[in-house]
Amino acid sequence: MKAIKLFLVSLFALIPFQSAYAATPKTYDNYVPMDEGIEDHWAYDEMDDLINADIVDGFMDNDNNMYVKPENNITRAEFVKLIVTALDLKESGNSQTFTDVKKGDWFYGPVQIASSLGVVNGKSATKFAPNDKINRQEMTKIIVEAFKNTIVFPESGSKTFTDVTDNWAKDYIKKASAAELVNGTGGSKFSPKANATRAQAMVIIHRALQKEQSNVAADEEIVTFLKNHILKENKMSEANNSEGLVKLYEENGTGYYRVLGTEFGGVEFPVEEGEEYTITIDDEKLALKVLEKSNRFATIEVTGMKVTVKYTSKDMNMDFTEDMDGAYQLKKDSVTGAWKIYNYYPYFSEDEL
């Protein structure tokens, strides 16, 4: 997937263009993990999805490279922040007071919010232990508490783990297992006291978000939004309307899609005397199909469009026609309730690059 992301950007680097993008807190680099072998990681798809949707942030180095560090252990504070961000939780009622969680700490807000909702408790009556590594049983309890109102946890169908038969978290592990949110660590073991990794934390959150089915939008609502967006985008692209495109991406985009669109998508080819640039999009056979959806997320397949691009100058002659089939990933804005696009996958393999 990293190769596809780089390819999409490289399309706009072939010709010197003028970009009319607006500044955003994040840049393209924040969405491309540079960890060695990251694309072969067992949890890559889930991690990449959460990063694209602005639920997870990577670690940026001094050269502006982003690293996920999937095998690092995750702390209690870090996991709580992920939960609060993923569900966009708001404080309700009285939060608990912990002597080791102070105003000014980066985790103060998330801990206050999660504790006020009963999603988390402290390690004691006065200590939260924010920097302690979270173990698998603690993580599972928090997931169940956080999603108990939006996920159906079956009474049966859970796996049998030999190391959780006499465990304080056995009911939480049973519920999470029955809902297919957690698996064991091999054989019949769950390893409840083992420290959780960042990859494990992201996967369990991703699974839970996809299982939310308590308030799912109708297909027509999702399809209508995306179809209108695509048709507007096509017209603006054909008109070489870079300012309009940027505004469209800012309005209908979020996360990776918005950044890619505003940084690289709103481009205006500087057509000068003796040069020619045209883009024609055939969308008469445009078809949209909802592949997956949950309370907050949806994946829509788009087929039936073709784009023809022609650009000639003294230095370049470009003329090609391509299918525009692909899949869009959407998330619902927690404030407005509007759908936003956070990713687009074109239907071509990395081998074709």
Query: Is residue 10 pLDDT above 60, yes or no?
Result: no
Q: 228-256, pLDDT tens digit by residue?
A: 999 999 999 898 888 899 999 999 999 99
Fold that domain 2-27+217-352 belongs to in CATH: Nuclear Transport Factor 2; Chain: A, (3.10.450)
Q: Is the full-model pTM beyond 0.75?
A: yes
**Would you state the pLDDT for residue 298?**
98
Q: Is the sign of the CA dihedral 208, 74, 78, 60 positive or negative?
A: negative
Sign of CA dihedral 55, 209, 41, 135: positive
CA–CA gap between residue 212 and residue 1 (Å, rounded): 26
**Structure tokens belonging to residue 106:** 């980066």
Q: What is the pLDDT of residue 101?
A: 97
| Residues whose CB falls within 8 Å of the CB of residue 169, separated by 6 or more in sequence, listed in order | 137, 138, 140, 141, 192
Distance CA 188, CA 98 (A): 37
State the Cα torsion 111-114-118-119 to the nearest 10°.
Answer: -110
The tokens for 126 are 């006065």
**Every domain of the chain and the residues it spans:** 2-27+217-352, 29-211
Which candidate, 317, 314, 318, 316, places its Cα nearest to that of 273?
314
Q: 238, 230, 232: which is closest to 309 by C-alpha?
A: 238
Widest CA span of the chain, in angstroms?
Answer: 80
The per-residue pLDDT for 263 is 84
Rounded to an integer, what distance in angstroms lies between the CA atom of residue 48 and that of residue 198?
A: 13
Residue range 327-343, pLDDT digits in tens:
999 999 999 999 999 99
Give the model confidence (pLDDT) of 273-315 as tens digits.
778 888 899 999 999 999 999 999 999 999 999 999 898 888 8
Residue 351: pLDDT band with limits 50, 70, 90? low
CA distance 169 to 122: 15
- C-alpha closest to that of 26 among 181, 214, 189, 255: 255
User: How much is the pLDDT for 77?
Assistant: 97
